[in-house]
Amino acid sequence: MNQELIYLDAHATTPVEPRVLDAMLPFFTQHFGNPSSLTHAYGWEAAAAVKQARETLAAAINASPEEIIFTSGATEANNLAIKGVAEAYFAHGNHIVTVQTEHRAVLDPCQYLESLGFEVTYLPVQPDGLIDLNELESAIRPETVLVSVMAANNEIGVLQPLADIGALCQAREIVFHTDAAQALGKIPLDVRAANVHLMSMTAHKLYGPKGIGALYVRRRQPRVQLAAQLHGGGQERGLRSGTLYTPQIVGFAKAVELGLALMEPEAKRLSQLRQRLWQQLSQLPQVYLNGHLTQRLPGNLNVSFEQVDGQALLLGLRSVVALSSGSACSSEKTTPSHVLSALGRSESLAYASLRFGIGRFNTAEEIDRVANAVIETVRSLRQITV
């Protein structure tokens, strides 16, 4: 691959950090035992590594180790949380509240539940991408069993007020789930302080391997009930059967450990790079920032360009920088981003948008090269269309 191509798509995925890979490697060939094989040392070794990883992950979010359920990623964690609560609380009610700007891995399980007879409220957002807490409060009904609001948005990076939402749900005795796939290791997360009951996580947005994630499931005050979605060997307290993927679990924990250690300096460095990029891009006329200016992930910038064709813009940039327009999953389709539409952006502005995901390995020099390329491409496209 072209090594000159600058990677600015950190919300889609990130490379595995070399120290994470080093931690994983012995568990493929040497310590390959099944963590459930408790009759011999191969199993004990693997079980000890999984135990340690579970403790690391739990400590990172102020949970207890037994509250961590390993999954294949955040998609599976979201499915387990949403369908698992819907099934377990069915006798209490059939109403779910979520938000229009959620990831498809939250919206689609909700839509699936609608097909089974559940009712779902999709809350709108304000023009800055934040939900209105009063609207959330008035959406809650006596039969509401679940509120699902993401921690950090994967397109516009906007951070929702988790602690406020948690307090509201705690007072109403409603289960609160948050998709923290983008937030883990980037911003502080404390499931106790924020009254979060279920939290989805993934390793590959945090310089860990793909194919591993976890769901935090609260066991005390309250003890959250969940119906398993995968049945089999009874691993993970029966909530998620299947042989534990030791190398990925070890890598996940290492990625979280590094993410926490680097969180403060990285947040500062990334927001400076983000600011540097926005300062240059905003010199162009008719460019718009999507999402709240400061209440967002440090490495996220999302910009719409007036009078530019979105596809042509991406085509013009693809030899310089790897990024996406809208979310990676929706950029194959020709519909505008549902997130930008929810902000009230017109169809043409939603199409003509770029999502910059600045990550751990990007430099100021790369940011300047990207800014120049974007400015040049936008200018030349505008000359053609005008």
* Site of interaction with ligand PLP (CB under 6 A): 73-75, 103, 105, 150, 154, 179, 181-182, 202, 205, 213
The active-site residue, picked from 30, 329, 364, 379, is 329
Rounded distance between C-alpha atoms, residue 115 and residue 117, angstroms: 6
Closer residue to ligand PLP (CB): 205 or 355: 205
Give residue 239's identity as a one-letter amino acid code: L
Residue nearest to ligand PLP (CB): 73
Q: Kindly provide the residue ranges of all beta strands, DSSP E only, lying in 75-163, ordered along the sequence.
A: 95-99, 119-123, 144-148
DSSP for 281-295, please give it.
HTTSSSEEE-S-SSS
Alpha helix locations (H) across 208-322? 246-281, 310-317
At which residue do the structure tokens 């390329």 appear? 373
Closer residue to ligand PLP (CB): 247 or 316: 247
Q: What is the smallest separation between the CB atom of 152 and ligand PLP, expressed in angstroms?
A: 7
18: how many CB neighbours lie within 10 A of its CB? 9
Closer residue to ligand PLP (CB): 195 or 300: 300
Q: What is the smallest separation between the CB atom of 157 and ligand PLP, expressed in angstroms?
A: 10
CB contact at 8 A, 11 and 300: yes
Closer residue to ligand PLP (CB): 8 or 287: 8
Q: What is the smallest separation between the CB atom of 370 and ligand PLP, expressed in angstroms?
A: 22
DSSP for 55-69, please give it.
HHHHHHTT--GGGEE
Q: What is the smallest separation between the CB atom of 348 and ligand PLP, expressed in angstroms?
A: 25
329 catalytic, yes or no? yes
Q: What is the smallest separation between the CB atom of 96 and ligand PLP, expressed in angstroms?
A: 17
Rounded distance between C-alpha atoms, residue 222 and residue 92, angstroms: 15
Closer residue to ligand PLP (CB): 201 or 378: 201
Residues in CB range of 176: below 8 A, 6 or more apart:
146, 147, 148, 149, 165, 166, 169, 170, 195, 196, 197, 198
Distance (Å) of CA 287 to CA 106, 136, 172, 252: 30, 31, 42, 38
Active-site amino acid positions:
329
